[in-house]
Structure 1
Amino acid sequence: MLHKGLALFSPSVEAEADTKLVHYASWQLQDVKGNAIDFKDLKGKVVLINFWATWCPPCIAEMPNLQKLHDAYKDKVVFLFVSNEKKEKIEGFLSKNKYSFNVFTSLENPSEFEVSSIPRTLLINKEGKIIIDKEGAANWNSETVRETLDDLLK
């Protein structure tokens, strides 16, 4: 219940001076259907990356809001939901909860990002700056996040 409460708060947008630049190094990902993508090919796009797991209570708490955000922006923003779990476990979780977003597994450690705890979510603008870097559960379908996305997509 505590995690659900924490997932009600909107993540903070980084101050311009605090933003980090992504270098778009090669990072191979594969979705549950077997399709591969390379992170470097996403340069110039707005990207939301969520590192999570099916066993993680804070991850589970923020998923409904991430699904709503995905539904609203899936044609405009690249969503990378990344888990290191087996395909069958991920597919079962998505099916049980009726989530429609695609989940990826990393075929190599991402050289761009150090992930020491989950959930960790990053919002990257078209210029490659990390606008939001949030560890822990948050409300990703908040007015703040939607306004930020709308500004990034202009």
Structure 2
Amino acid sequence: MTIQFATGQGTLISAAPGRRELTAGGAAPKGEEVDIFRLSCKNKLIILKRGVNMKKHILLIGFMILTLVVIAGCQRKPGNNSSNGNENDGFIDPSVTLESLRGKPVFLNFWATWCGPCREELPDLQQMYLKYGDRIQFFTISAESANTVRKFMGKNAYTFPVFLDVNEKLNNEHKIRAIPTTMILDTEGRVRESHIGTMSAEQMEAFILAVLE
């Protein structure tokens, strides 16, 4: 993992096992003012806490130290999620609401085709859907266009239900700021568990069993 500057780069040098805070170091580019706030999301969203402000035209020797907070997920892209056709053209009847789902546990997963961590966990989500789909309602939620999602689902042979939240109503109601985000709701519609970031099949199964037992 590297930290990319306008010129040159710093390399990640240490990370305590099991911690989300990492220490990074790298030689500052010659004569470069380094004032970093955030790296863009690729496989993981890395947010840099501003800790160093280097003056221009000063040769800095040694390493700069920054604190990185690593979130195993992608920051949601801003709006402008246009749909090719009817905005309500989802895989699930748009009249479906969380209120209408009461009486049976619900597994919710917010994701996007462009999100690396989302794509990483979808095979496990498909596995859980095939295993528990008759006992719990699965709803995966994407704010992308129907065309984009349909192509992705077909290419990967996924069969879990998708709701197209093009207007981001559910995303906003649940204050989703990063994806993937997974929630498990009990039969009364209450959120029992929630998780931001990639989940393994074992983690998903633990969520599901918590509301089935």
Same fold by TM-score greater than 0.5: yes
1:71-150 mapped onto 2 (5 Å cutoff):
71-106=130-165, 107=167, 109-110=169-170, 112-139=173-200, 141-142=201-202, 145-150=204-209
Q: What displacement does 1:152 show?
A: 2.2
State how many pairs are aligned: 127
Tell me if the contact between 1:31 and 1:102 (Cα under 8 Å) persists in the aligned partners. Answer: no
Alignment partner of 1:38: what SS?
coil
Say if 1:31 and 1:104, in contact at 8 Å, map to a contact too: no
Q: Does the 8 A contact of 2:92 with 2:162 survive in 1?
A: no
Alpha-carbon deviations, 1:105-126, whole Å to 9, x = none?
A: 1255136410011111101112
Is the helix fraction higher in 1 or 2?
A: 1
CA distance in 2, matches of 1:65, 1:43: 25
Alpha carbons of structure 1 residues 137 and 33: separation in structure 2 relative to 1, 3 Å = closer
Cα distance in 1 for residues equivalent to 2:197 and 2:92:
28
Opposite residue 133 of structure 1, the aligned amino acid is S
Q: Deviations over 1:40-71 (max 9, x none)?
A: 10122200110000000000000000000001
Identity between Structure 1 and Structure 2 (%): 31
Q: Over alpha carbons, which structure has the higher Rg?
A: 2
TM-score for the superposition, normalised by structure 2: 0.53
Unaligned runs of 5+ in 2: 1-41, 44-86
In 2, Cα distance between equivalents of 1:65 and 1:131: 20
User: What is the Cα-based RMSD across aligned positions, in Å?
Assistant: 2.5
CA contact (8 A) 2:143 2:168 kept: no
**Quick one: distance in 2 between partners of 1:45 and 1:31?**
25
Q: Does the 8 Å contact 2:143/2:164 carry over to 1? A: yes
Once the two structures are TM-superposed, the CA of residue 145 in structure 1 deviates from its matched residue by 3.9
Structure 1 position 43 matched with structure 2 position 102? yes
Report the Cα distance in structure 1 between the residues aligned to 2:121 and 2:101, rounded to whole angstroms. Answer: 24
Segments of structure 1 that go 5 or more residues without pairing to the other structure are: 4-28
Greater RCO (CA < 8 Å, at least 6 residues apart): 1
Deviation above 4 Å: which 4+ runs of structure 1?
A: none
Higher strand share: 2
The 2-side partners of 1:146 and 1:81 are apart by 16
